[in-house]
Each structure stands twice: as C-alpha cells, then as structure tokens.
Structure 1
Amino acid sequence: MVINNKKIKLLLILILSIVGVYIGFEYILPLFIPFILAYLIAAAILPVVRFLYRRIRMPKIFGGIISLGILGTGFGWILCYLVDLLLKQLTVLLRNLPIYLSVLGSFMDRFSEGCDKFFGIQLGTVQSFIYSNFDGLLVIVKNKIIPVITTRSINLLIGIVGFAGIILIVLVSVLLLVKDEDQYSESFKNSFFYQEIHIVTGKLSEMGIAYLKTQAIMLGLIGAVCTVGLLLIHNKYALLIGIAIGIFDAFPILGSGLILVPWGIIEIINKDLYSGAILLTVYLCCQLIRQFLEPKLLGSRIGIKPVYTLMSMYAGVNLFGFAGFILGPIGLVIVTTIVKECKERLVITKEM
C-alpha cells in the first residue's frame, strides 16, 4: 500500500511538472525573456566588472557600462561586417540578374520542349501554356502578394521599434543587476526555495554548457564533411562554403538540405551526375550525423538517454515552434530533475 501511494505521488508530481513546464514556457517565459537575457549578459560581464572593482576600485555600474560598451562594439562590428557582406553579394546578384533571367528563360524553353517530347504533344504547347499564364501570375502578385508585403513591412517597422525598446530594457536591467549583484545574490540564497531552485538551475547550467559543446562538435563535423564533399567536386570556395553550410545546418527549420539538395538536383539536371551524387551524399551524411550523433552527444552529457533527448526536441518543436528545439531538452531536464529530487525525498521520508 505504501509502495502504491509512493507511485501515485510520483505520477502526480510527473504530471504536475509537465503541465507546469508547458504553462511556464507557453505563457510565463515570454514575459521574462528580456530579464533572462539581461541575467545571462550580466553573468558574462561580471568577471570583468569584479576585476575592475578589485584592481582600481571602479564602481560596478561604470565597470558594467565599459564592459557593455566593449561587448556591444564587438557585436556591432560583426553585425556591420555581415550586413556589408550581404549588401555586396546582393549588389552582385542584381547586377547579374539579367544574365540569370536569360539562363532561366533558356532552361524553361528546354524544359518545355522536353515535356512536349515526353508527352508526345505538339512542340510549343507547354511553352505557350506557361507564357499565357504568366500574365495571370503577375496580376496575382500585384493584387495579393504586394499588398501583403506592404502590410508586413509596416508590421516589421513597428516590430523594430518594439525591439529597440526591449533592447533598452535589457541594457538597463544588466546595469541594475551588475550594480547590486551582491544584494541580489544574498537575497536569492536566503529565499525559501533556494535549495530546490538551485538544484534545477545547476542542472540547466550543465545542460547549457553541454549543448554549446555539442553544437560546436556538430558544426566542426558537418563543416568538415561539406568541405571534403566540395573539394571532391573541385569547388574553389570549398572551405568557406563548407563552414557556411555547417552554420546553416545548426538551424533545425532550415538545415543543410535547403542548400545541398537544390544544388545537387541542378547539377544532375545539367548532366553533371558526379557532382550531383556527391552533393546529395554529403546531405545524407549531414542528416545521419545530425539525427544520430547529436542526441547521443547531448544525452550523454546531461545524463539523459539519446532517444529521450530526440523525443524532447521533436515534442518541443511541435509545441513551441523553432524555439522548441532548445526548450524541449530544457523542459525534459527540469521535469527529470524535479521527479528525481522528489523521489529521493520520498525515500528519505520513508526511511525516517
């Protein structure tokens, strides 16, 4: 009877933990994201702030301003460099757009002719059908797509203004946390639920470090596989493109397939079967690495079986979208930590 009561209690704790994590991630977390981000930034710059305070007795708020300035300058330089690179690439694309349109037109003509021959119909039938429907496509773009783009642009502008306000809140919060970090730390340690919260946050910290290490390993492996594949097809920019695909593959909604698969298909259409086969094989290797190695690495580092980590990623993406790729494993760690701690306490209580 005691055992059954224990099982019922653990089951209730498990259900309440899952429901609590879902409600927290869905409704509460969005309200505190700026302050969580501020806490992470403050934790990152605190060593510098403390060093300046110990060495030259610089007030912590000034040390925080200097640290934020250095961090913001570095981030801004990287962002400006990437934007400049993107604009240069876009300029080259627009300059060569007539050439690309000409190549696309020739490809469509060959494609139409191939369809005519394949279906045994009169030459020019598919081409006439495509061109006759092109005007209708332009009308759809003008009447439906362009107004939507205009509306989205206005919403984007409003979002940018709101984002600037959030950034301001984050910066002010960082300075306040740095300025009174001793008081906040002491207040947190004296709180009633400090031990329970500390156990969960400690586990999450371990998981965060493990996640970053795992992604670094995945980036290196996938970048290396892509680079080798591009070297096999004698690409002049194998290393650069390989690293770029490795970074792109880290995004679960995007992935390397958006680059490698169309590229491979285009090479096959252009009758370069060797290059097409290499690119598609590289994509397959990337998928195998991502699907099988990542859960194993992440699961072994956080003490959770790989299949459970994969299940949590899948459930997280379905529940929370793109952010669920990270929130899923985090939720799994929170639930397992709570259940494990409660289980140990129930055992101790029983023994007493």
Structure 2
Amino acid sequence: MISRRWYVIGGLALVLWLLHSVQPILSPFLVSMLLAYLGDPLVDRLERLGLSRTLSVLIVYLIFLLILLGLLLIIVPLLFRQLMRLYELMPLMLDWLQFKALPWIQVNLGLADSFWRFDRIKAVISSHLDRTTDIVGIIVAQATTSGLAILGWLGNALLIPVVSFYLLRDWDVMVARLHSLLPRRHEALVNRLVRDCHEVLGAFLRGQLMVMVGLGVIYAVGLMLVGLELGLLIGTLAGLASIVPYMGFAIGLTAAMIAGFFQFGLEGYSLLAILAVFVTGQMVEGMLLTPLLVGDRIGLHPVAVIFAVLAGGQLFGFSGILLALPVAAIMMVLLRHVHDLYKLSDLYSKPRDVSEPPDTA
C-alpha cells in the first residue's frame, strides 16, 4: 500500500509542474495577489468604520490609483530626464577612465600599453549621442516587430486591476473557506503556522516596502538638495536596493560619489555632503524606520534574500522573483517549526546513562 507521504510528495511535485507550465500567464495573478494582500488590512479597517466591503475596496483602489498617477506624472518624467543626462555623461566618464584612472593603474601594475581597449566603447556611445531624442522611437520601432508580445503585455496589464479587485473583495471569504477545509486534527498547528507566516510576510511586504520608500525619499531629496544632477535617479535606485539591508547604502553611496566627483571634482564640501546624506539615511533607518515599521519579526538574512531572488529568477523568471521572498519567508517559518520539533525529539536529547534507574513515572 502506498504511504500517504508519497501522495503528499506527488501532489507537491504536480503543483510545481503546473506552476512552471503556466509561468507565462502567472505574473498578473501574482501581482494581483500581492496587491490584494497589501490592501486587505486597509479594507478591513474601513469596514470596521461601517462601510461595505465593496465601497471599502473602491476607496482603496482610488488611493492606489492616485499614487500611480503621481508616479507617472511627476517622478517618471524626472527619472527619464536624468537617465538621458546619464547617457550624455558616459563619454566623459570613459575619458576619465581612459586618460587618468587607467594610465595610473597601468603604471603601478606594469601592464602593457595595449591592455585597455576603451576607444571602441567611447566611439560607439558617442556616435549615438546625437540620436538621444529618438530613443523612444527606436524602442517603439523595435517593439512593433513583436505585436503579439505587446498585446500580451497589455492584456496582462489590464488583467491586474480586474483580478486584484475580485481578490480584494472576496479575500476574507476565500480565507474562511480555506480554513474550513483544514483537517480538524491539525487545525491548531496549521493555524499557528499560518499566523506565523502571516506575521513574517506582513512585516516584510508592508514594513520593508515602506522602509524602501522612506529611504528612497531621504536619499533622493538629500542628493537633490546637495545639487547632484543625478540625485533623483541615484536615490531611487538606492531605495529599491534597500530590499537587502545595507545594499542600498553601498550601491547608492558608490554611485553618488562617482557622480559627485564628475560634477564637483575634488570639492570636499560637496562630497562630504553626499556622504552625510547616506549616513543620515542609515541612522534614520536603524533608529526609526526599521524598528517602527518592521521590527525584529522578519529574520531573513541578507544572504538568504539575495539567494532567494536569484534562485526564483533562475527557476521561474519574473514570476519566480515575485514569489521568491514570500516563499523564503514561509520556508523560514517552517524551518523554525522543524527546529523546535528537533530540539524536542529523542535524536537531539542527551542519551540517558545506563547506570541510571529507569523512570517508572
């Protein structure tokens, strides 16, 4: 007779195979689930004020829509303009590398004169500078060669608000139905594991995302006040990279120092001001943002975060990146439970001395 354990393993393998098979259409549903999970506490709070579930969902939708419109109308054009500025500054950076930095390295390391080949890179970039205004046209021209891909992308983009609306409206109903299907013998254990997973996921998805936004605002506003031309772009990238602790600080500070060097030269006050912006951001994160918004409930090591994102992208593409951190958080909760069971098992306990009398109790 086949053990029940093999049925469970076969079921898990079937689920993984199905996820891999429907990967091309999985992304909009994952994004919708993420939006519904993030918006459910807001909807529940509005329901406690006496509003209906549908009206509460519409109000939360309006909030999300206003935030999205603000990003599209204000931040995105500024970021695009700074990307164009970075594209124009690349030949200057290559000049500095070719005529100052690399000769110094060449002399001190004793490299051959023909070791560096930056002339070709500079020529390619410089030849495209006079066509920076046509970049959007080039992108559109290339994209139109795959019309079906564009239609699929637009279909997915239009599918996200529809699916997320129904998921958000029926979220509590779906959770209640899943709870009713739990085996009664293991209901307490499953409830405790789900509660722990919800605590970790809520702390990460809501808390860490708010920390990323806060750091991005601090870095971007601070760098723009210093006068750095690429301040908004670097600050935004540093905030996004803050999903891994200290990575945003390292990447942002390095990029800002390089950009500040090309803009201000060796002017000490400007470079010190850039350093002060990132030090201030780290202090605000460590003393205010992380303790207030995240706390110590996540427990995901930075190395685990990096591995989860890379492994998810390698296995399932963009869908895997969306699933990586939630799956890693759930696995961490399960491993904690297994760790507790192991500490209580006979395998871990100290062997009893044979000279001791047996415990008659």
TM-score by length of 2: 0.56
1:42 and 1:203 map into 2 onto residues whose CA distance is: 18
The structure with more helix, counted as a fraction of residues:
1
Q: Contact between 1:261 and 1:283, CA under 8 Å: does it hold in 2?
A: no
Q: Which residue matches 2:255?
A: 262
1:173-322 equivalences under 5 Å are 173-177=167-171, 181=173, 185=176, 188-189=179-180, 191-192=182-183, 193-211=186-204, 212-213=206-207, 216=210, 226=219, 230=223, 234-235=226-227, 244=236, 247-252=239-244, 255=248, 259-269=252-262, 270-274=264-268, 275-276=270-271, 279=274, 301-302=296-297, 309-321=301-313, 322=321
2:56 corresponds to which of 53, 60, 67: 67
Using the TM superposition, name which of 275-284 and 41-50 deviates more. Answer: 275-284
Q: 1:241, CA displacement in angstroms?
A: 8.7
| Structure 1 residue 319, shift from structure 2 partner | 1.6
Structure 1 pair 87–279 and aligned structure 2 pair: CA distance change class (3 A): closer
For the 8 Å contact 2:216–2:240, the answer to whether it is kept is no
Cα deviation, residue 208, structure 1? 3.0
CA RMSD of aligned residues (A): 6.0
- Establish whether residue 49 from structure 1 lines up as the match of residue 40 from structure 2: no
Matching residue of 1:58: none
Distance change (3 Å), C-alpha of 1:154 and 1:247: farther
CA deviation profile, 1:84-118 (whole Å, cap 9, x unmatched):
11465378669x97x985x7777777877769998
How far 1:82 sits from its partner (Å)? Answer: 1.4
Question: Measured at CA, do residues 41 and 325 of structure 1 come closer, stay the same or move farther in structure 2, by a change above 3 Å?
Answer: closer
Unaligned regions of 5+ residues in structure 2, if any?
108-112, 314-320, 348-359
Q: Secondary structure at the match of 2:50?
A: helix
CA–CA separation in structure 2 for the residues paired with 1:46 and 1:90: 35
Q: Superposed, which structure 2 residues align to 1:313-352 within 5 Å?
A: 313-321=305-313, 322-323=321-322, 324-340=324-340
Partners in 1 of 2:56 and 2:214 — Cα distance? 30
User: C-alpha separation between the residues in 2 aligned to 1:189 and 1:345?
Assistant: 31
Cα deviations by residue, 1:229-268 (Å, 9 ceiling, x for unpaired): 759x94499x989975663343459835555423312333
- The within-5 A match list for 1:126-137 is 131=123
- Please state how far the C-alpha of 1:81 moved relative to its aligned partner: 1.5
The aligned amino acid for 1:314 is I
Give the distance between the partners of 1:153 and 1:219, measured in 2 at CA: 35
SS at match of 1:255: helix
Q: Which one is further off, 282-291 or 75-84? A: 282-291
Deviations 1:268-293 (A, max 9, x none): 345225234664686689789999x9
Instruction: Report whether the alignment pairs 1:165 with 2:154.
Output: no
Matched, 1:27 2:7: no
Equivalent position amino acid for 2:58 in 1: G
Q: Which amino acid aligns with 1:199?
A: R
Q: How many residues align?
A: 304
Which residue does the alignment assign to 2:67?
Answer: 78
In 1: Cα distance, 2:82 partner to 2:289 partner: 36
Task: Please list, as runs of the form range in 1=range in 2, the aligned pairs for 1:82-101 lying within 5 A after superposition.
Answer: 82-86=71-75, 88-89=77-78, 101=88
Instruction: Please say which of residues 258-267 and 73-82 is displaced more in the overlay.
Output: 258-267
TM-score by length of 1: 0.57
Q: Which amino acid aligns with 1:52?
A: G
CA distance in 2, matches of 1:215, 1:133: 36
Q: Give distance in 1, aligned partners of 2:216 and 2:76.
A: 27
The range that moved more, 243-252 or 162-171, is 243-252
Q: Is the 8 A contact 1:203 1:333 kept in 2?
A: yes
Change (3 A) 1:46 1:154: same
